[in-house]
Amino acid sequence: MSAGPADPRWSDWQPLAGYPAVTAEVLAETVDGGQAFRWHAQPDGTWFGQWSEIVATLRLGADGRVAWRCPAGSETRTAAALATYFGTDADFPALTDALPWRTDAHLARCLRDFPGLRILRQPFGETLLGFLCSATKQIVQIKQMQELLAARHGAPVPGTGGAFRRLPTWPELAACTEAELRACQLGFRARYIWETAQFVAARPDWLRETETLPYPEAKDRLLGLPGVGEKVADCVLLFGAGRLEAFPVDVWILKTLGRRYALDGWKPPQLAQFGRAHFGPLAGLAQQFLFAWERRHG
């Protein structure tokens, strides 16, 4: 279903600068653990991913270093886009060290088990689209929706001979019918996405402004969109705007806080408050480690 990386001519492999050595599991958890929905494991063990007008393949070396390649000719902009996307200018070791792991044995264990795990910085609008699709869906199915949307309603990525398609932009989504969206396996989410598209497409600066507003205001604005509740708003701000204070409470966090922090029976709003109070201003980063750990061990 997805466009394979075999078609165009590819650049040489280049090291992903500023990125730590990681295990295969941590790399998988980073790109395919629920933050992003357009990375696909290839038969040869590489990862093929797309965002915005970027197409890239990732390869993990025996030394744990990540290398990348892209369609020939797009090396410069891909290198810059990768730096943003993987947050290589952010000091994640320092951020992670600032989490309260010294007084939280479970968090310490999560950090130890997923060294190098980090928060991606994805395009804001695409992140919104991805998480509008996510309600009561598993990652595999969300990925199928994204690929159908890209294949049927997204523009070809320039300079790659039409081999790849980007996700539709919000104006492009606004031009679709709800039925067309529904046909991309969106189910009841189609109405949310269609209505959100009408709203956003009529306000050209709205997304860009929302991305840069302080967290509380940005979240309020997102919560006004159909299909965007607390969890989706926090995911969009965490994974699409670098707001590390955003603390999405999904079923995994519900489960892990209940089990590992003796908060069984607490409701999501209470847990969100606990998260902010206990994990502090980088609660969203802590959340990612707890989430990864619970998915593997829970």
Q: Which is nearer to DNA, 75 or 195 (CB)?
A: 195
In the chain, DSSP finds a helix count (H) and a strand count (E) of: 15, 5
Q: At 58, which helix (H) or strand (E)? A: strand 54-60
Among 140, 205, 214, 277, binds DNA (CB under 7 A): 140
* Spatial distance between the Cα atoms of 37 and 281, rounded to a whole number of angstroms: 26
Stretch that binds DNA, among 96-104, 111-119, 151-159, 188-196 (CB under 7 A): 188-196
Annotate 183-211 with b (16+ C-beta within 10 A) or e (fewer): ebbbeebbebbbebbeebbeeeeebeebb
Measured from the CB atom, the residue of 55 and 181 that comes closer to DNA is 181
Task: Tell me which of 39, 51, 85, 291 binds DNA, using CB under 7 A.
Answer: 291
The binder of DNA chosen from 93, 269, 281, 298 (CB under 7 A): 269
Q: How far apart are the first and last CA of the chain?
A: 31
- Asked if 267 is part of the footprint of DNA (rule: CB under 7 A), the reply reads yes
C-alpha angle 290-100-30 in degrees, rounded to nearest 5? 35
212 residue type, one letter: T
Based on the shown chain and the rule CB under 7 A, indicate whether residue 136 belongs to the binding site for DNA.
yes
Select from 7-15, 134-142, 199-207, 275-283 the region that touches DNA (CB under 7 A): 134-142
Q: Are 155 and 48 in contact (CB under 8 A)?
A: no
Contact call for residue 88 and DNA (CB under 7 A): no
- Sheet of 14-15, strand order: 14-15, 66-69, 54-60, 47-51, 39-41
The yes or no reply on residue 265 touching DNA (CB under 7 A) is no
35 by DSSP, 3-state: which?
A: coil
Q: Check binding of 156 to DNA (CB under 7 A).
A: no
Position 230 contacts DNA (CB under 7 A): yes
Residues facing residue 68 across a β-bridge: 14, 58
Question: How many chain residues touch DNA (CB under 7 A)?
Answer: 34
207 to 226, contacts with DNA by CB under 7 A?
223, 225-226
Check residue 138 for interaction with DNA (CB under 7 A): yes
Site for DNA in 28-67 (CB under 7 A): 33-34
Can you give the binding site for DNA, defined by CB under 7 A? 33-34, 134-141, 144, 182, 185, 187-188, 191-192, 223, 225-233, 250-252, 267, 269, 291, 295
